Amino acid sequence: MSRTPWVYAPAHAWADTVELCPDEARHLVTVLRLRPGAMVTLFDGAGRSGPFVLAQTTKKRVLLRAHAAPTLHPRPQGLILAAAWTKGGRRGFLVEKAVELGIQDIWLWQARFSQGNIPEDGPAVWLRQAVAAAKQCRSPWLPGLRAFASLAALLAAAAATARRFVLWEKAPASAGIRLADLAAPCVVAVGPEGGLDDEEVAAFIQHGWHPRSLGSRILRAETAGVYVAALAHYQTEQSPPSQDAQEES
C-alpha cells in the first residue's frame, strides 16, 4: 500500500483551503499524477501537519481543502549545526541528512578556506532541499536556516547558547566529542573542506567554544557534520524530555 504523500505549505499560507506554490503543485500533479479527491498530508515546517483533500487541479492552480483538524507537534530543543560553506553537492547532502536526523538549526558560515562565497539566494535553495528531506522522513519540522558572512557574525549569534563546541582535527585525543556535550541547547561548528586556520580556532576559543575531536581519522566536512548530527540524534532519543519540554507540550 502506498503512503499518503506529504506536501509543504508555509505557515502563513495555511487556511481551510490552501493554494500550493508552483513547485509543490507540479510535484503532486505532474510527478505523482494525483487527481481531485486524493488525500495528502500537509505540513508547515513549524510542527503542524494534517490531512487535506486535493480539491482542484488546473494548469495554474492546485487547491487543497482541509479534511480534519491538524496536529501540533511540540518541538524539542536540539543541535545547532554551524557548517562552514562548502561545495554545493556536499552541502546539499549535509542539509538533507541534518533534516532527517532532527537538527534544530543549520547555520552556514563563511570560513577562510571556504570554496566560494555564500550567495544571496542560498536560503531559498537550502529550503527546497530541507523540504524534500522532511517529506521523505515525514517530519513536521524544518530546521532554522541561517547564513553568516563571517566568523565574527557566527560567534555573535551563538554567544547566548549554553554549550559551544568546534570540531578541530588538531584537538587532543582526550578532547573527543561526548554525548553529554550534545545535550540541548548546544551549537557545534564544522570547518570547511580545507580545514580551520589557527586564527579561526583561536577566535572560537576566545569566545568560549571548546575544541572537540572526532577521532584519529580526517573526515570530510559533510561527513563530520553528519557524524555529530547522528550522535546528537542518538543522545536525544536516549534522553527523556526535559521538564520545560513537557510543560510546553
Q: Name the grid cell of 199.
A: 586564527
The whole-number pLDDT of residue 247 equals: 37
What's the pLDDT at 2?
61
pLDDT at 97: 93
CA distance 207 to 247: 33
Q: What is the pLDDT of residue 98?
A: 92
**pTM for this prediction:** 0.87
Within the chain, residue ranges assigned H as helices are 22-26, 88-100, 122-137, 151-158, 198-206, 221-238, 243-248
What pLDDT does 239 receive?
63
Q: How is 92-129 classified by DSSP, letter by letter?
A: HHHHHHHHHTT-SEEEEE--TT-SS---TTHHHHHHHH
Phi and psi angles of residue 122, each rounded to the nearest 5 degrees, phi first: -55, -50
What the chain holds in terms of domains, given with CATH numbers, is 6-72 (2.40.240.20), 79-243 (3.40.1280.10)
Cα–Cα dist 53/64, whole Å: 5
Q: What is the pLDDT of residue 249?
A: 31
Q: What is the pLDDT of residue 215?
A: 87
How would you write the pLDDT of the chain (249 residues) with one tens digit per residue? 368 999 999 999 999 999 999 999 999 999 999 999 999 999 999 999 999 999 999 877 899 999 999 999 988 778 999 999 987 778 889 999 999 999 999 999 999 999 888 887 777 888 989 999 999 999 999 999 999 999 999 999 999 998 999 999 888 878 999 998 998 889 999 999 889 999 999 999 999 999 999 988 888 899 999 999 999 998 877 765 544 434 333
Asked whether the beta carbons of 83 and 118 are under 8 A apart, the reply is no
Q: What is the pLDDT of residue 1?
A: 39
The whole-number pLDDT of residue 245 equals 38
Answer positive or negative: Cα dihedral of 106, 110, 112, 115.
positive
Peptide bond into 192 cis (omega under 30): no
Q: Identify the DSSP state of 193.
A: T
Map residue 188 onto helix, strand or coil: strand
Residues whose CB is less than 8 angstroms from the CB of residue 183 and which lie 6 or more positions away in sequence, other chains included: 163, 235, 239
- CA distance linking residue 216 with residue 218, whole number of Å: 7
The 3-state secondary structure of 220-232, one letter per residue: CHHHHHHHHHHHH
